[in-house]
Structure 1
Amino acid sequence: MSSTETLTADRILEATEEVLRRFGPSKATVVDVARVLGVSHGSVYRHFRTKAALREAVTARWLGRTEELLSEITEGPAGSAEEKLRAWLSRLFEAKRHKAGDDPELFATYAVLITEASGVVDEHLVVLVSQLTRIVEEGVRGGEFEAASPVSAAQAVFDATARFHDPVFAPEWRRPSIDDEFRAVCELLLRGLRA
């Protein structure tokens, strides 16, 4: 890279992911990121004022990818609320399993970063539960679901499926029986929501 004018936040975040994958969260530095980009570390600091801000931004970007995938279902074409809820839960599980299995180094890195960026994680969880709430509300309006409080029902669904999306359970996602267990939990939750 020849000038800092072409340096963007997205390019910095991409380079940060590369550095994190290569060195892990404990050894990755802003100097390493700058080196990958061919700029001074001061150029990186012009976009992200601190190392913590950079790490929070890369974590938010990573979590945002999942939010975008799931919003395709929430915002997607008409279908039954039950179909949307089942698709949403399945896509969340698949996205998490995909991240853990396809790029284990980066997944492990993010597991560490998530503990540092609790505000970013809290915002992510709010987005996910909001998406679920929209689906439950849609089901209540359409007479498919019964819930005195769609917000509470959505939170309960999210909590009940934590085993299939919380990174702490990632080692279980490789078990041969996990898909059957996931389907059983989904069916139980859907039976509880049906009007």
Structure 2
Amino acid sequence: MAPTSEPLTAARILEATEEVLRRHGPAKATVVDVARALGVSHGSVYRHFRTKAALREAVTERWLDRTSASLSGIVAEDGDPEARLRTWFTTLFEAKRHKAGDDPELFATYMVLIGEHSAVVDRHIADLTGQLTTIVEDGVRRGVFASASPAVTARAVFDATGRFHDPCYVRDWEQPGIDDEFEAVVGLVLRGLRV
């Protein structure tokens, strides 16, 4: 990233950090590299992020939040809860596959960073299961889904579909037949939720 005369913001620092991580990987990327990419001193970066760990945590959270944001619109829709749930899982699976396939080096880097920042991952999973809870609650309210506890059901559904969004299964995502397997699992989950 070439230095610009734009004001230094947290967002610009995170963009530069992502580029530095892509180029150098998590083991070699430093705050000095980020500052150099921005054309500023490393002290300027530290004014926004007090430590290297805080910077790495923020860039990891930003990466995960992109997925959450793409799903939140589906949750906000007023359509059929079953169709929304199917679309939500399809969108999640596609987002994860694109992250892994479109930029494998950066995906590998983020897998390292995620391992360092389990609280960020916990918040991400809580956000995703919260979104699912909202859809399940709507389904129960409309008489489409049966669930005594939508939050428990949402977490169970999230866990049951883990093969299609948990990064530990990344090698499976490009295997022949994975789309059929995905459809079978989501179909089974939806049948299990119906009243």
Q: Is the shorter-chain TM-score for this pair beyond 0.5, marking a shared fold?
A: yes
Partner of 1:47: 48
Is 1:166 paired with 2:174?
A: no
Partner of 1:86: 86
| CA drift at 1:13 | 0.2
Trace 1:182-193 onto structure 2 (pairs within 5 A): 182-193=182-193
Trace 1:20-169 onto structure 2 (pairs within 5 A): 20-76=21-77, 78-169=78-169
| CA drift at 1:106 | 0.6
| Per-residue CA distance 1:32-75 (angstroms, 9 max, x = gap) | 00010001111000000000000000001000000100001001
The change in CA–CA distance for 1:62 and 1:2 in structure 2 (over 3 A counts) is: closer
| Per-residue CA distance 1:66-97 (angstroms, 9 max, x = gap) | 01000010012x21100000000000000000
SS in 2 for 1:61: helix
Name the amino acid aligned to 1:52. Answer: A
- Looking at structure 2, the residues matched to 183 and 146 of structure 1 have their Cα atoms a distance apart, in angstroms, of 21
| CA drift at 1:2 | 6.6
The alignment of Structure 1 onto Structure 2 pairs a total of residues equal to: 193
SS in 2 for 1:85: helix
Partner of 1:10: 11
- How much is the aligned-residue C-alpha RMSD, in angstroms? 1.0
Q: Where does the alignment leave 5 or more consecutive residues of structure 2 unmatched?
A: none
Q: Where does the alignment leave 5 or more consecutive residues of structure 1 unmatched?
A: none
Name the amino acid aligned to 2:161. Answer: T
Name the amino acid aligned to 1:83. Answer: A
Which 4+ residue blocks in structure 1 deviate beyond 3 angstroms? none
| CA drift at 1:17 | 0.2
Calculate the TM-score normalised by the size of structure 1.
0.97
Cα contact 2:4–2:38 (8 A) shared by 1 = no
SS in 2 for 1:143: coil
Name the amino acid aligned to 1:108. Answer: A
